[in-house]
Structure 1
């Protein structure tokens, strides 16, 4: 039984290996000539005398070469501005086929000296870079921010195709700065010394966010002092101001409950037998809520036209809660939970500066989400 199991396992494994080592015949029949060549090469590297793989390689390579050369001629004859990129792609595929065959000694007996188009590929890359460069110049001449972005990406493609083509790097830099939106963020002013430290911390969080912002490379944030020092002329000004805020509104609520419990041992007879009765208590539960809230106004203004381009308001609330209780009467009338709360004492609330900071936390989350949404899509 053990030998039969091993035999079945090896047969199964052999079928997998054989199935995996295809000759490329199916790919050839489907017209995927490049894949047929790659599969035939792979098979001949493992089985150099496989006749089917040899036939597939010969036929597949001839058809792949003809197909790519046909596409190259069609692309050259087209009016597509970026036709040289198609030409370049097909020359790359031809050269890749040649490299695959050259890596397989058995394949070279079937296709000796596969053709490579080194100079033609280099020329097509140069021409493709020139087309992208000229396209970038066209966009740059339109002299607006959106076209400058397109120009930047065209020069970037030029550099990827031909890193040293003309003054591409300088043009790319010109396009970038023509596309950038410079945003000066004005500091929040809180006219209260009591909350200055908390307001400063809130401002630091905002400064850190804008300092780390990188989602849209064409947006740069500046603090007001930084912009002044660098003599930055902004495209937009982002202003943040509290329309209103209230810190430390206190509400205390008392709830009184009359409690009683029956069948409680309240004594015993001379015969030491328990005496049952009813015990009573009055429970006073106190709940204190200290509410702090504010409304932050965010406005974005176009510096040139002084037009308001976006305005949002973000509310924030923080409620600090405390509870405790007292009772009069027999503590046996209270449950364990009620008794536990009577052992608590009224707590001192956080200082006003902490309450201020707490209500700004939900405001901060809303603010950075909105800034991100707006500028990510600018």
Structure 2
């Protein structure tokens, strides 16, 4: 086997690693060139090519970022200060990475950091976001209030506790939120009371998690009465029909045979023949299913906003067997079947929970799709 390809690949990798910072510099990717040069100098201090790349790349990167700052400040873009923030943060990141590299500091002794300039830019950006949020909130409609919330949120991120931004966030949220009363699934059959409560609680848990990342607020009827709430919508859940424990038992008889089996002895000689058996297979199927009617209604107009019937099905199956005839005729699979005994089926309450599992998956998907538009 020739060693030349291996040597060539090794040398190629070496030269690629050594020249990668320079190539970034030549392509105008000055920030990237700085980071690569620093990384190389941390592994190989005093590398002359890396030091040269670092010096040139840092100078060009600084010039570009400061030029971008000047242009952004002159821009008519209302969010121009956020561009300024990005440029100052990039400059400070470059300075920080050089500061942590001793050999780099020999080439660039004091990389400039823009701390006060960045703080001023953040204050200006937060001021603009806050002012725009106030103006949007005054438009007194849900969509504007939603955008105002995002502006107040951004202002708080840029400059924490800016003015009364936390209060304005709460004000914008309640102006934008859709209030929905959830009418629970009602059942008249007491045997399924706890199973239905389990299903209902899972729905409430999902809704609680969903509203934390949306502008939808869900209420139980009890909560709505307590708060004297006037809702925007009502989400109604009703079983149009359901059946639990519908049982079918199917019986199948199959004759099995085996040839060349000893069946007796005559005059001291073994006699071989065919033996037979009837294998009886029992298959029990217990089906449970329900049809859940999901309706969202506008509280003010009483118009139906969406309606869909969701179907949930669960099938429990059991299989066992017996036989009549000569045991020697049985196949391996027949023996396995016959050794089984009829299993005790799940309780009705468990069957109810099982058929509501696919309903839950469909319902949560329906809610997510419908309320994503809000």
Which residue does 2:75 correspond to in 1?
78
Provide the rounded CA distance (Å) in 2 between the counterparts of 1:103 and 1:255: 80
Describe the shift of the 1:25–1:293 C-alpha distance in structure 2 as closer, same or farther (beyond 3 A). closer
Alignment of 1:1-378 (within 5 A): 16=14, 26-35=23-32, 50=48, 53=51, 57=55, 63-94=60-91, 118-213=115-210, 216-269=213-266, 271-378=267-374
Provide the rounded CA distance (Å) in 2 between the counterparts of 1:328 and 1:102: 89
Deviation at 1:371, TM superposition (A): 2.2
Could you tell me whether the CA contact under 8 Å between 1:287 and 1:321 is conserved in 2? yes
Provide the rounded CA distance (Å) in 2 between the counterparts of 1:54 and 1:341: 80
Deviation at 1:252, TM superposition (A): 2.5
Deviation at 1:147, TM superposition (A): 2.3
Deviation at 1:73, TM superposition (A): 3.0
- For structure 1, the residue ranges without an aligned partner over 5 or more in a row are none
Could you tell me whether the CA contact under 8 Å between 2:38 and 2:54 is conserved in 1? no
Deviates more, 1:293-302 or 1:61-70: 61-70
Deviations 1:149-169 (A, max 9, x none): 221111111122222432222
Deviation at 1:242, TM superposition (A): 0.8
Could you tell me whether the CA contact under 8 Å between 1:41 and 1:107 is conserved in 2? yes
Describe the shift of the 1:61–1:205 C-alpha distance in structure 2 as closer, same or farther (beyond 3 A). closer
Could you tell me whether the CA contact under 8 Å between 1:75 and 1:86 is conserved in 2? yes
Deviations 1:30-56 (A, max 9, x none): 334455566677788875695994697
Could you tell me whether the CA contact under 8 Å between 1:43 and 1:53 is conserved in 2? no
- For structure 2, the residue ranges without an aligned partner over 5 or more in a row are none
Q: When the two structures are superposed, what TM-score results if normalisation uses the length of structure 1?
A: 0.79
Provide the rounded CA distance (Å) in 2 between the counterparts of 1:194 and 1:155: 51
RMSD over aligned Cα atoms: 3.8
Could you tell me whether the CA contact under 8 Å between 1:248 and 1:352 is conserved in 2? yes
